[in-house]
Amino acid sequence: MTLLLAGCGTTPAGGSADKSLILATTTSTQDSGLLDELLPVFTRDSGWQVKTVAVGSGQAIEMGRRGEADVLLVHSPAAEEKFVAEGSAGPRRLVMHNDFVLLGPKADPAEIRGTGSTEAMKKIAAAEAVFVSRGDESGTHTKEQGLWSKAGATPGGSWYQSTGQGMGATLRVASEKAGYTLSDRATYLTQRDTLALEVLSEGDAGLLNVYHVIEITKKAGDRVRPDGGKAFADWIVAPPAQRLIGEFGRAKFGQPLFTPDAGADESKLGQ
């Protein structure tokens, strides 16, 4: 497990040194650079300092379950819904989405270029082409497992390799091994110039990647700062933060890396 701990700025004028909250989030929000854009503005606006723990969504949810985080920003919907149903979480709100992409080497030995995700996974398994998985119970790993299931394939053997690490590290391993992998588009785009990987399958409705913010309550533990969690959750779904999300990446990549969705009908995303 890789923990990326990051503070955010200094205490602003009028702020209090004890106004500190813990955000457990996915490595994709960290590796894409989105948090570097958002958190200083949140601290400036609210006075709350943010300590970030960037792990897979499954591990972030476990932190919330143990009362080791005040708010979550995650992208594993089924696991999120199960966690909220347990009763220790507060509101779960839609924040944004982007999509997953299947990546591989230019040579494309499994010949998946231009195919849908289900057919691509069948071809990779049939060819026993190297596939590099995060293997870390993250939202990306959960999505990958769902794709194998839809394809009726059971990955294993020497061709299926697990890093147990975040998205950035997994991309580097896949590139080095000339293998296939599943990535959120944002992390791939921010690292594309350093990788020998191309987008080979994209655009499926099944590749949608949706993020929610979840507040944690005192029911999870006495250390939880629900006031801090609520402050962050309220801020990230409000129009100013949503505008920042919608512009992030546009100047560098010619397209935003995330689509802001606060208040949208989740059933219609990606349509």
Q: Identify the CA nearest to 178 among candidates 232, 256, 257, 110.
A: 110
Q: Which helix (H) or strand (E) holds 257?
A: none
Report the pLDDT value the prediction gives residue 8, as an integer from 0 to 100. Answer: 42
| Phi and psi angles of residue 127, each rounded to the nearest 5 degrees, phi first | -85, -10
Below-50 pLDDT ranges, the chain: 1-16
CA distance 132 to 166: 12
CB-based burial label for 115 (10 Å; 0-12, 13-18, 19+): middle
- What is the pLDDT, as a whole number, of residue 7? 44
| Number of neighbouring beta carbons within 10 Å of residue 16 | 11
pLDDT value of position 17: 53
pTM: 0.86
Chain centroid to CA 98: 10
Q: How far apart are CA 271 and CA 269, in angstroms?
A: 6
